[in-house]
Amino acid sequence: MSANKESWGSRVGLILAMAGNAVGFGNFLRFPVQAVQNGGGAFIIPYLVCFLLMGIPLLWIEWSVGRFGGKFGYHSAPFILNSLDKRPFWKYLGVFGIWSNVAVAAYYCYLESWTLSYVYHSVVGSFSNLSQTQIADFFSDYVNLNVSTSGIPFEPIVFFVLCLALNTWVLSRGLSGGVEKVAKIGMPLLILFGMFLAFKGFTITAGENGAINDSAVGLNFLWTPNFESLWSPKVWLAAAGQIFFTLSVGMGSIQCYASYMRSKDDIALSAMSAGWMNEFVEVVLGSSIIIPIAVGYLGIDNVIEMTKSGGLGLGFRTLPYLFYQWGDVLGAVSGVMWFGLLFFAGITSSLAMGTPWMSFLMDEFKWKRESAALSFGVIVFVLGMPTVLFFNYGVFDEYDYWSGTVSLVVFAMVEAILFAWVFGMDKGMHEINSGSDIKVPNIYRFIIKYITPTFILLVFLSSLVTPKDGNWDAALRGNWVLDDSSIIRKITNAGLKEQIAAATDAATKANLE
């Protein structure tokens, strides 16, 4: 039991903080790229099915598990899980729910610091009058830590520290005094900026300002359904992965936020509100900005090619240039709005990643809020430095894979089983519905008990042994070669072993000298 009596200031504040937790880079950078890579219109059906059968149930589970643990004074996953069942191993599994937040924060906050820096550069006009290549090079120079043109030495590190200091400061002010305030300011601004940019994305006309396509070309590509890829497990896997990441489920951060609710507060409707707000920002705003704008100026084939290396290139190398096609003033204004929007999306998520770690220290070791916040900043700095220093060696992606993808699925599987099968659906449904403004339809009793865990299990097993190029057809006909992206292959990856061996060699040598 802790002396920690903190709670949310208002219901609106809680919902905005939860929506802020969910709305992040996933909505604006990851979603459009996933959609393009998985066949545009083909992606959206599996995506929506995953949202309804896996996303919403997990939101209800996590909100109610969190509020339940909070009644006993617990605010971090190990103890929250343990309050549903007394066997101690749940506590150890719960460590996932602290660890993955810190690990994701390590690369997420680094990305967040780029947005801060790019707001600054848009304001001072660093991108005006630069050619497309120069703006792309600006980014490469930046992530490679080349001494910047703005005269700030090691600018990425300066902004990384600044960004962490900002997070630490907000976290030290508490939930209602810090996190909630940032969400109340940041979320409306994000939606406003997003609407403006989506409006621009919607009104691109071939022949104007150098555009070669109307907005419709990009939008149609995203939204014309292609039913064939419904049979592709690869598309389903990508859709499920996106739902996990975008809703922030399987992390432990939702449970932590929910543990600060009052025991009579509504869950069923609030969880849906935050979840649907994330979907609006993702499906409506997220798909109306980078894709239609980039396709409008560069054409579909180029854009498909560019998304092969993820969403970061489009967002940071290409858009700042395209904005200037609208003139110097609108170019700068759009830059500020785009990177400002990304910054708010980022900080409201990274604050959520800081809270579980802090709650753990405050509950168990009676740390003061300020020291706990500071320790988060320091840990993220230490864990984040490898992504800063070795960005080009794929460290960033490696973090994203293990902590931002695999770990979420494992943890969600654990908690869905704990909730539906150990705690039990009678108590479970009671928890979800108690204090609620709406009653969850009874069909969800069945879905939460059978469909959701099966779904998660399938996602997990198929990522464990993904066949080459995601070609399940061939694999099932006996030709089973593991793809490089399968978890098993990654664990036993020869390349990785070589890297480690080389690093150990170098270390031994250094020791001998």
N residues, the chain: 513
Quick check: helix, strand or coil at residue 259?
A: coil
Regarding 22 and contact with Na ion (CB under 5 A), the answer is: yes
Nearest distance, CB of residue 23 and Na ion, angstroms: 5
The number of beta carbons lying within 10 Å of the beta carbon of residue 453 is: 21
**Best CA proximity match to 84, nearest among 101, 98, 96, 70:** 70
Residue 168 and residue 350: Cα distance in Å, rounded? 10
Binding mask 66-105 for Na ion (x = CB under 5 A): ----------------------------------------
Considering only 23-31, 87-95, 140-148, 388-396, which stretch makes contact with Na ion by CB under 5 A?
23-31
Q: At CA 404, angle to CA 398 and CA 408, rounded to 5?
A: 135
DSSP 173-232: T-IIIIIHHHHHHHHHHHHHHHHHHHHHHHT--TTSTT--S-HHHHHHHHHS--GGGGG-
Nearer to Na ion, 155 or 279 (CB): 279
Give the interface segment with Na ion, choosing from 21-29, 222-230, 419-427, 457-465 (CB under 5 A): 21-29
* Residue 250 contact, options ligand PHE, Na ion, none, Cβ 5-8 Å cut-off depending on partner type: none
Cβ nearer to ligand PHE, comparing 27 with 172? 27
- Beta carbon of residue 27, minimum distance to ligand PHE (angstroms, whole number): 5
Q: How far apart are the first and last CA of the chain?
A: 53
- Tell me whether residue 211 or residue 239 sits nearer to ligand PHE (CB atom): 239
Residues between 229 and 248 that touch Na ion (CB under 5 A):
246
If DSSP states are collapsed to H, E and C, what string results for 319-375? HHHHHHHHCHHHHHHHHHHHHHHHHHHHHHHHHHHHHHHHHHHHHHHCCCHHHHHHH
Placement of tokens 């520290």 in the chain: 161
Q: Which tokens hold the place of 411?
A: 């943890």
Q: Report the residue number, 108 or 297, with the smaller CB distance to ligand PHE.
A: 108
- The stretch near Na ion (CB under 5 A) out of 20-28, 294-302, 423-431, 474-482 is 20-28
DSSP summary character for residue 154: T
Contacts for 88 with CB less than 8 Å, ≥ 6 apart? 82
Q: For ligand PHE, give the closer residue by CB, 217 or 237.
A: 237
Q: Which stretch binds Na ion (CB under 5 A): 19-27, 64-72, 93-101, 483-491?
A: 19-27
Tell me which of Na ion, ligand PHE, none is bound by residue 168, counting a contact when its beta carbon lies within the kind-specific cut-off of 5 to 8 angstroms. Answer: none
User: Whole-number minimum distance, CB 18 to ligand PHE, in Å?
Assistant: 10
**Which of Na ion, ligand PHE, none binds 251 (CB below 5-8 Å, type-dependent)?**
ligand PHE
Q: Report the C-alpha gap between 257 and 348 in whole angstroms.
A: 12
Binding residues with Na ion: total (CB under 5 A): 6
Contacts of 401 by beta carbon, 8 Å cutoff, 6+ apart? 490
Q: Would you say 26 or 315 has its CB closer to ligand PHE?
A: 26
Instruction: Write down the residue that tokens 């320091």 correspond to.
Output: 378
Residue of 367, 365, 260 whose CA lies nearest to 5: 260
Hey, what are 401's tokens?
Answer: 């894979």
215 vs 278, beta carbon nearer Na ion: 278
User: Of these partners, Na ion, ligand PHE, none, which one is at the site of residue 253 (CB under 5 to 8 Å by kind)?
Assistant: ligand PHE
- In whole angstroms, give the CA distance from residue 462 to residue 312: 27
Q: Does 46 bind Na ion (CB under 5 A)?
A: no
Choice between 239 and 475, CB closer to ligand PHE: 239
In the complex, minimum distance from the CB of residue 123 to ligand PHE, in angstroms, rounded to a whole number: 24
The nearer residue to ligand PHE, 197 or 353, going by C-beta atoms, is 353
* Per-residue exposure over 42-68, b if at least 16 CB sit within 10 Å of its own CB, e if not: bbbbbbebbbebbbbbbbbbbbbbbbb
Q: How far is the CB of 289 from ligand PHE (least distance, A)?
A: 15
CB of 108 to Na ion, least distance (A): 12
**Nearest distance, CB of residue 60 and ligand PHE, angstroms:** 17
Instruction: Using CB under 6 A, list all residues that contact ligand PHE.
Output: 21-22, 24-27, 104, 245-246, 248, 251, 253, 349, 352-353
DSSP conformation letters of 266-279: --HHHHHHHHHHHH
Distance CA 117, CA 123 (A): 10
Which residue, 217 or 254, has its beta carbon nearer to ligand PHE? 254
Show the site string, 260-299: x = touches Na ion by CB under 5 A, - = not. ------------------x---------------------
To ligand PHE, the closest distance from the beta carbon of 112 in angstroms equals: 10
- Residue 68 or 244 having the CB closest to Na ion: 244
Query: Measured from the CB of residue 432, what is the shortest distance to ligand PHE in angstroms?
Result: 21
Q: How far is CA 396 from CA 148, 307, 421, 423, in A?
A: 21, 17, 36, 37
Closest separation in Å from C-beta 347 to ligand PHE: 11
Residue 338 carries which side chain, given as an amino acid letter? W
- Residues making contact with Na ion (CB under 5 A): 22, 24, 26-27, 246, 278
